[in-house]
């Protein structure tokens, strides 16, 4: 029998006995409850900040720094607005204060609600190109730093409108003028639509562009581009309505009279007559029959003849059955690969009431016009482009088809004349370098039709008669046809 070793009750003896007993496999319970050390359990979940990785610490530091910079930017904007030296970005930021849930209430002054600042759209419309470029950079800074989803939507919409405004103020080339003529009708289609209708139409157009069917991608791409701008406008309008509502509620406690005046002004503007638009749909045809063809589908104008929805507010257009038949027959011809629909209608200068207005009801003739586009291989384009990477298309000619089936005196054919503004004569140019002059072409007829004018590129016409590329001017069976192309200048390589 082995005698047990003597026990020494010195510090740490219990722990050593436990270690020896465990090593030898003995079953003895030699733990000393008086000297036992227990380690607190680590709480479940995310480790404390001291255990963050270096990358996590860096990200947290950057996020905190961004919050500080954004807060300081908003405070500086408030100060400049209060002192009357605000920049455009300050006015936009000051508008957002009323619905900014991340805003520090201690930065607000009681009198801030009394300050009237223009709406975001008014701010953008008042700027020139240089100011818009500066504003775009300032908006990008706010959009990058902002984490609030509603605030980011606000800055995204404002930036889209800023880009659209810059595009409009930029001098347009020949090709852009042709595209803008189609955009004018597209804008009239999209303008009355709500945000929900625009989002539905956006999905339909994207699905059409992703499909395998043969479509005019330039047309649908331009329509989608315009739709995104109007979608941004609708979002901004919705956000700004919430801003005004919050401001009015805040102002009622301080200045009820002013609050009621603002509310009354908003009510009056909302009650102005507007066109109602039904749910949008996308036409199923592979190529749009005209720039106006979408109107009968997207705006629900089922009572008006096809392609006439853009005239629905004027009430003096020719909707006779004879005109409709001529129009639909021309639409059925379609457009070729190098053609675009042309609708750059202008106000007829110096228009007076015709003498026959009391006898016949004046009406505006309908039309289906095309603009011909192509490449111009001048010295610059030959140097910088090739057939695999062609230059931008330019206007090469026009095809006017204007319908006068109900002309009273059919022995007198309608005529046309060219109008050059500001005293400019034929051959003279007031255009800046790299741009082309434009002029008005006015079509003149007798009762019951009013005169109509379009803006075209002012270049020398080619009067040769070579197949379809030549000059054509005729009036037959109620249709005035004026087809011409510009003279081409050939360059040696």
Tell me the domain boundaries of the chain: 1-38, 54-170+193-270, 310-486
Average pLDDT of the residues in 42-66:
69
Q: How far is CA 492 from CA 311, 378, 394, 489, in A?
A: 48, 9, 20, 10
pLDDT at 401: 93
Q: To 10 degrees, the CA torsion angle through 408, 413, 414, 416?
A: -160
Residues 6+ apart with CB under 8 A from 272: none
Of the pLDDT bands very low, low, confident and very high (cuts 50, 70, 90), residue 416 is: very high
Average pLDDT of the residues in 49-64:
72
Average pLDDT of the residues in 305-314:
36
Q: Mean pLDDT lowest for which of 22-26, 97-101, 126-130, 231-235?
A: 22-26
Most trustworthy range by pLDDT among 279-288, 359-368, 458-467: 359-368
Q: How far apart are CA 295 and CA 311, in angstroms?
A: 10
Q: How far apart are CA 94 and CA 87, in angstroms?
A: 11
143 with 156: CB under 8 angstroms?
Answer: yes
Average pLDDT of the residues in 137-144:
89
152, pLDDT greater than 80? yes
pLDDT at 180: 54
Partners of 317 in beta bridges: 364
Of the pLDDT bands very low, low, confident and very high (cuts 50, 70, 90), residue 186 is: low
Q: How many CA atoms within 13 Å lie on the side-chain side of 225?
A: 14
pLDDT at 298: 33
Average pLDDT of the residues in 253-266:
79
pLDDT at 206: 84
272 with 256: CB under 8 angstroms?
Answer: no
Partners of 278 in beta bridges: none
Q: To 10 degrees, the CA torsion angle through 139, 142, 147, 149?
A: -30
Q: How far apart are CA 124 and CA 163, in angstroms?
A: 10
454 with 441: CB under 8 angstroms?
Answer: yes
Most trustworthy range by pLDDT among 241-245, 271-275, 487-491: 241-245
Higher pLDDT, 138 or 469: 138
Average pLDDT of the residues in 92-120:
82
23, pLDDT greater than 60? no
Of the pLDDT bands very low, low, confident and very high (cuts 50, 70, 90), residue 487 is: confident
Residues 6+ apart with CB under 8 A from 453: 345, 346, 347, 348, 349, 419, 440, 441, 442, 443
Average pLDDT of the residues in 164-171:
80
| Tokens read off for 147 | 């984490």
331 with 414: CB under 8 angstroms?
Answer: no
Average pLDDT of the residues in 132-155:
88
Higher pLDDT, 38 or 141: 141
Report whether the peptide linkage leading into residue 131 is cis, meaning its omega lies within 30 degrees of zero.
Answer: no
Most trustworthy range by pLDDT among 61-65, 327-331, 386-390: 386-390
pTM above 0.85, yes or no: no
Most trustworthy range by pLDDT among 51-55, 225-229, 432-436: 225-229
Q: How far is CA 137 from CA 85, 88, 118, 134, 164, in A?
A: 19, 12, 20, 5, 15
Most trustworthy range by pLDDT among 96-100, 332-336, 434-438: 96-100
| Beta strands in 177-249, from DSSP E residues, in sequence order | none
89 with 135: CB under 8 angstroms?
Answer: yes
Q: How far apart are CA 401 and CA 404, in angstroms?
A: 10
406, pLDDT greater than 80? yes
Q: How far apart are CA 110 and CA 22, in angstroms?
A: 75
Average pLDDT of the residues in 300-322:
46
Q: Mean pLDDT lowest for which of 104-113, 283-292, 470-479?
A: 283-292
425 with 348: CB under 8 angstroms?
Answer: no
Of the pLDDT bands very low, low, confident and very high (cuts 50, 70, 90), residue 284 is: very low
pLDDT at 361: 81
Residues 6+ apart with CB under 8 A from 31: 14, 18
Q: How far apart are CA 381 and CA 399, in angstroms?
A: 26
Q: How far is CA 362 from CA 87, 104, 224, in A?
A: 50, 63, 37
Q: Mean pLDDT lowest for which of 106-110, 247-251, 472-476?
A: 106-110
Average pLDDT of the residues in 482-487:
90
């Amino acid at each position: 029998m082995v005698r047990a070793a003597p026990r020494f009750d010195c510090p740490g003896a219990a722990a050593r006995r436990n270690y020896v007993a465990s090593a030898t496999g003995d079953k003895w319970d030699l733990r000393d409850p008086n000297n036992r050390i227990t380690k607190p359990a680590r709480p479940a979940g995310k480790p404390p900040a001291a255990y963050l990785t270096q990358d996590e610490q860096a990200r947290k530091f950057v996020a905190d720094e961004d919050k500080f910079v954004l807060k300081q930017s908003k405070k500086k904007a408030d100060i400049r607005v209060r002192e009357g030296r605000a920049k455009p970005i300050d006015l936009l930021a000051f508008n957002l204060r009323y619905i900014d849930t991340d805003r520090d209430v201690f930065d607000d002054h009681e009198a801030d609600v009394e300050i009237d600042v223009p709406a975001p759209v008014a701010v953008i419309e008042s700027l020139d190109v240089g100011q818009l470029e500066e504003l775009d950079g300032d908006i990008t800074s706010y959009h990058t730093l902002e984490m609030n989803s509603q605030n980011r939507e606000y800055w995204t919409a404002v930036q889209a409108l800023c880009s659209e405004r810059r595009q409009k103020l930029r001098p347009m080339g020949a090709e852009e003028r042709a595209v803008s003529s189609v955009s004018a009708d597209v804008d009239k289609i999209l303008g009355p639509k709500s945000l929900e209708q625009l989002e539905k139409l956006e999905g339909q157009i994207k699905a059409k562009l992703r499909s395998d069917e043969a479509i005019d991608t330039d047309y649908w791409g331009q329509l989608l581009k315009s739709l995104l701008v109007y979608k941004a406008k609708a979002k901004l309008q919705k956000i700004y309505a919430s801003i005004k509502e919050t401001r009015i509620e805040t102002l009622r406690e301080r200045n009820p009279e002013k609050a009621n005046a603002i509310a009354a002004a908003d009510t009056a503007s909302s009650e102005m007559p507007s066109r109602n638009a039904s749910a949008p749909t996308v036409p199923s045809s592979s190529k749009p029959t005209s720039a106006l063809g979408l109107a009968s589908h997207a705006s629900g104008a089922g009572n008006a003849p096809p392609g006439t929805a853009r005239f629905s507010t004027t009430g003096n257009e020719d909707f006779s059955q004879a005109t409709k038949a001529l129009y639909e027959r021309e639409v059925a011809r379609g457009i070729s690969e190098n053609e675009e629909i042309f609708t750059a209608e202008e106000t007829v200068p110096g228009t007076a009431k015709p003498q026959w207005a009391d006898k016949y009801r004046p009406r505006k003739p309908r039309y289906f016009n095309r603009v011909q586009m192509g490449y111009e291989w001048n010295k610059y384009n030959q140097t910088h482009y090739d057939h695999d990477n062609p230059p931008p298309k330019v206007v090469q000619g026009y095809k006017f088809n204007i319908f006068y089936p109900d002309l009273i005196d059919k022995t007198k054919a309608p005529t046309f004349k060219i109008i050059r503004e500001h005293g400019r004569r034929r051959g003279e140019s007031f255009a800046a370098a790299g741009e082309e002059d434009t002029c008005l072409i006015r079509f003149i007829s007798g009762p019951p039709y009013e005169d109509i004018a379009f803006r075209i590129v002012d270049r020398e016409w080619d009067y040769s008669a070579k197949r379809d590329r030549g000059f054509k001017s005729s009036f037959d069976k109620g249709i005035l046809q004026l087809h011409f192309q510009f003279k081409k200048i050939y360059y040696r390589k």
